[in-house]
Amino acid sequence: MSVQQALPPGGPPRGSAETIQKGDVLLDVRDLKMYFPVTEGIVFRRTVAVVKAVDGISFQIRKGETLGLVGESGCGKTTTGRCILQLERPTSGEIIFEGQNLNDLDARALRPLRRKIQVIFQDPYSSLNPRMKTGDIVAEPMYVHGIEPDAKARERRVEELFSVCGLSVKMIDRYPHEMSGGQRQRVGIARALSLNPEFIICDEAVSALDVSIQAQVINLLEDLREEFGLTYLFIAHDLSVVRHLCHRVAVMYLGKMVELADCDELYDNPLHPYTRALLAAVPVPDPAIEAKREHQTVKGEVPSPMNPPSGCVFHPRCPLAVESCGRKIPEFREVKPGHWVACTET
Amino acid sequence: MAAILEIENLQTQFFTSAGTVRAVDGITYSVNHGETVAIVGESGCGKSVSALSILRLIPDPPGRVVGGHIRFMGLDILALSDAEIRKVRGRRIAMVFQEPMTSLNPVLTIGRQLTETLEHHLGMGREASNARAVELLGMVGISDPQRRLAQYPHHLSGGMRQRVMIAMALSCEPELIIADEPTTALDVTIQAQILELMRDLSKRLGVALIIITHNLGVVARYADRVNVMYAGKIIEQGSALQIYHQPSHPYTLGLLNSVPRLDRPRQAKLDPIEGQPPDLTRLGAGCAFQPRCRFAVTRCAQEIPPLETVSEGHVSACWRRDDLGEKMRDAS
């Protein structure tokens, strides 16, 4: 068997940028803010500071699209995902899913919509209940939402989901600790699919896996996207994986969105100095290319979100910063069709 | 250049209730003065255990180095007494661990943790060691080092803690530093800062480095030579260019094909290695990679392939190396 034959077929992510741009907007996030109070005192609790985890971000996701959300720890990307899932009630802003603002709905009204929005978590070791068999883990959402009330039908559906996710049906009776990390992550994916969702938030879904297993799970996510017409919000810090999987990419820094563009445009022509620094920091697996690349590292560390810098939040670390950057918050503007950036100096 | 560390047929095993785990199963490599050698592989392939074996840090029981030799600058590491190995550890071979959160002592100040090494190994007094600690923290790029000495690890961010770990590793001017996944827990921009720092220091001070990692990008950027490990064995060894441009083992090729590339637009789906890594207590008679290998033939399941020369300085352990060399290279 030659290598060429062995390669699975495939091309660029299905659904080119144009066809997706014409599609319906599935999720519209407008000026989302999530502030967490920092309190002191036990009897007389008082707020001493506010962490602006997400500070006024807006984006849209169209049906069938995969939007990558990247940034370093503490930039607010996971909080954004949790707000969309309504696991946090945002401080302000709108999250419009299929025409309804999720922030306005009460728990009862939310329930039918929760079925359509699912999540795959990062850590396959802590996101599965160790006391439940994996088959029951996958069946539980159906039971809770009253889909497939018949136990036999539910069982058949679990078997189907296991095989869709590349798990042997024999594993239905196993506990999570009897499985490897990659297999557990597949169980997490099967659970997310069990309610036939339209939209899945993948929060660092492949970060904890070894390279060879990671590639298997990435391919599975792609296959499922095509088979079930899924829309993903792909939250990750690995920029290489995001380039491979996403149609558009948004970059966050300290609770703000600093750049948003089509995938190849962002990687080939990054405009924000932070995006450039991020891309330059990722080593490429080819020593010949690495020998020629410039290795300029960005100075300093991410400041505390409790006390963010004035003006542009990136200015203390920015190589392009001028005096006005410390005073004026840069506007998030469209510099080219579809390419948004929050920087005045680029 | 002279080799400062030579490892020959090292075997480390763990004796557990589930059976004997051959975590490191006969590996041989050397490290030259001032050189950076990478050990690459996935979780459980034995890369960390091989590093801990060099410092004789394998917990016994259940683990034990059962065979082989480790020679470091004329010393037979495995034959040293406990008192003698303590003079090597931290003084001549230092280690940077993966988790900066857990590998510093939370109840001692940064200053105390740095000066302890200096006082113990170099016999420095309190004042001299304090001055040296300030100098070291400055060298690894920590601002306001005098004030940091009185702080505890929880006052520092992950990147800062990792810098402190590096400062501790450098404190006695060792000849060799072993860094076990030194940046895995850190963000990319901090990872770049730390790795550039380690490379700078190694070039300037002539310290040899062993970097243990699963990140193929980090290896490409920083390593001179590369050992690829699978199931306790080195399956391919060569210069970074040889490994990346002429991978001569199906596992190395599979790893390279599994990583998405940042620098290229997406062309096709990824080509992963199918299946799971093997259970080290139940290895078959043949090549450990054979069940996952798309090039495997009958012989692969019967006999373990030895490491054989592909070109100068480049060895690979695969029975089908000669037949497949061309095809594999085309594919990569």
CATH code, domain carrying B221: 3.40.50.300
Here the CATH number for the domain that contains residue A56 is: 3.40.50.300
How far apart, in whole angstroms, are the C-alpha atoms of residue B53 and residue A45? 52
How far apart, in whole angstroms, are the C-alpha atoms of residue B133 and residue A169? 59
| A232 and A86 within one domain | yes
| A305 and A202 within one domain | yes
Tell me the per-residue pLDDT of A65-78, one tens digit each, with 9 for 90 and over.
999 999 988 889 99
| B123 and B216 within one domain | yes
> Six-digit token pair at A266?
């962002």
SS3 label, residue B328: helix
Residue A20 pLDDT: 55
How far apart, in whole angstroms, are the C-alpha atoms of residue B136 and residue B248? 42
| A212 and A292 within one domain | yes
Answer whether A209 touches B (CB < 8 Å). Answer: no
For chain A, how far is it from start to end, CA to CA, in angstroms?
51
The residue assigned the tokens 């352990």 is B317
Q: Please say which residue of B229, B262, B283 terminates a domain.
A: B229
Answer whether B215 touches A (CB < 8 Å). Answer: yes
Q: Is the pLDDT of residue A1 over 80?
A: no
For residue A249, what pLDDT band results from cuts at 50, 70 and 90?
very high
Within-domain flag for A124 = no
Answer whether A5 touches B (CB < 8 Å). Answer: no
How far apart, in whole angstroms, are the C-alpha atoms of residue A76 and residue B77? 48
Answer whether B144 touches A (CB < 8 Å). Answer: no
Residue A195 pLDDT: 93
Answer whether B191 touches A (CB < 8 Å). Answer: yes
From the CA of A219, how many Å to the nearest CA of chain B? 7
Q: Is the pLDDT of residue A15 over 80?
A: no
B241 and A216 within 8 Å at the Cβ level: the answer is: no
Residue B325 pLDDT: 63
Within-domain flag for A25 = yes
Q: Is the pLDDT of residue A4 over 70?
A: no
| B134 and B52 within one domain | yes
| B270 and B170 within one domain | no
Least confident among A15-29, A130-144, A240-254, A332-346: A15-29
For chain B, how far is it from start to end, CA to CA, in angstroms?
32
Q: What is the mean pLDDT of residues A246-250?
A: 95
SS3 label, residue A59: strand
B261 and A7 within 8 Å at the Cβ level: the answer is: no
Tell me the per-residue pLDDT of A254-304, one tens digit each, with 9 for 90 and over.
999 999 999 999 999 999 999 999 999 888 999 999 888 877 778 877 888
Residue B194 pLDDT: 83
Q: What is the mean pLDDT of residues A138-156?
A: 90
Within-domain flag for A154 = yes
Minimal-distance CA residue of chain A relative to B216: A285
Residue B61: asked if its preceding bond is cis (omega within 30°), the reply is yes
Tell me how far the alpha carbon of residue A56 is from its chain's centroid. Answer: 17
Name the nearest CA neighbour of A92 among A34, A22, A135: A34
How far apart, in whole angstroms, are the C-alpha atoms of residue B192 and residue B194? 6
For residue A161, what pLDDT band results from cuts at 50, 70 and 90?
very high
Q: Give kind and range of the element (H or E) at residue B315.
A: strand B314-316
Contact B198, B209 (CB under 8 A): yes
Query: Of chain A residues 21-50, which have a CB less than 8 A from chain B?
Result: none
Within-domain flag for A26 = yes
B268 and A11 within 8 Å at the Cβ level: the answer is: yes
Q: Please say which residue of A139, A163, A196 terminates a domain.
A: A196
Q: Is the pLDDT of residue A5 over 70?
A: no
ipTM score: 0.83
Within-domain flag for A189 = yes
Residue A47 pLDDT: 85
Contact A165, A186 (CB under 8 A): yes
Q: Please say which residue of A146, A175, A196 terminates a domain.
A: A196
B193 and A297 within 8 Å at the Cβ level: the answer is: yes
How many CB atoms lie under 10 A from the CB of residue B17? 5
B214 and A211 within 8 Å at the Cβ level: the answer is: yes
| B215 and B246 within one domain | no
| A101 and A30 within one domain | yes
| B54 and B107 within one domain | yes
Residue B99 pLDDT: 76
**Residue of A70, A297, A304 to mutate for B, most B C-beta atoms under 10 A:** A297
Contact A77, A201 (CB under 8 A): no
How far apart, in whole angstroms, are the C-alpha atoms of residue B94 and residue A159? 51
Average pLDDT by consecutive 10-residue portion of chain B (332 residues)? 89 90 92 93 88 91 91 92 92 86 88 92 91 88 86 86 88 91 81 85 88 91 94 94 91 90 83 85 87 89 90 91 65 49
Residue A335 pLDDT: 93
Residue A10 pLDDT: 37
Backbone phi, then psi, for A237, in 5-degree steps? -105, -10
How far apart, in whole angstroms, are the C-alpha atoms of residue B177 and residue B206? 11
> What residue type is B166 in one-letter code?
I
A219 and B272 within 8 Å at the Cβ level: the answer is: yes
Within-domain flag for A55 = yes
Under DSSP, the state recorded for B327 is H
| A209 and A111 within one domain | yes
Residue A275 pLDDT: 94
Backbone phi, then psi, for A185, in 5-degree steps? -65, -35
> Six-digit token pair at B83?
């008192």
More confident residue, A208 or B88: B88
Q: Which of B187, B263, B331 sits opposite A284 (nearest CB)?
A: B263
| A229 and A109 within one domain | yes
From the CA of B19, how many Å to the nearest CA of chain A? 17
Sort strands A117-120 and A199-203 into parallel, antiparallel or unpaired.
Answer: parallel
Q: Which of B43, B189, B294 sits opposite A72 (nearest CB)?
A: B189
Contact B172, B202 (CB under 8 A): no
| A273 and A248 within one domain | yes
Contact B321, B304 (CB under 8 A): no
Within-domain flag for A342 = no
Q: Give kind and range of the element (H or E) at residue B180.
A: strand B176-180
| B23 and B158 within one domain | yes
Q: Please say which residue of B229, B253, B286 terminates a domain.
A: B229
Residue B330 pLDDT: 55
Residue B267 pLDDT: 73
Structural domain for A41, as ranges: 20-116+197-309
Angle, vertex CA B302, rays to CA B301 and CA B303, nearest 5? 110
pTM recorded for the entire structure: 0.86
Q: What is the mean pLDDT of chain A?
A: 88
For residue A158, what pLDDT band results from cuts at 50, 70 and 90?
very high
More confident residue, A152 or B189: A152
For residue A12, what pLDDT band results from cuts at 50, 70 and 90?
very low
| A230 and A95 within one domain | yes
| B203 and B278 within one domain | no
CA distances in angstroms from B125 to A222, B129, B138, B254, listed in the order given: 62, 6, 20, 54
| B247 and B200 within one domain | no
Within-domain flag for A24 = yes
How far apart, in whole angstroms, are the C-alpha atoms of residue B187 and residue B159? 8
Q: What is the mean pLDDT of residues A102-125?
A: 90
Residue A308: asked if its preceding bond is cis (omega within 30°), the reply is no
Structural domain for B33, as ranges: 3-229
What is the sign of the dihedral through the CA atoms of A71, A72, A76 and A82? positive
Residue B141 pLDDT: 79
Under DSSP, the state recorded for B267 is -
Query: Which residues neighbour B144 within 8 Å (Cβ) at sequence distance 6 or greater?
Result: none
Alpha helices by DSSP H, A97-166: 107-114, 134-144, 151-164
Residue B332 pLDDT: 46
| A213 and A109 within one domain | yes
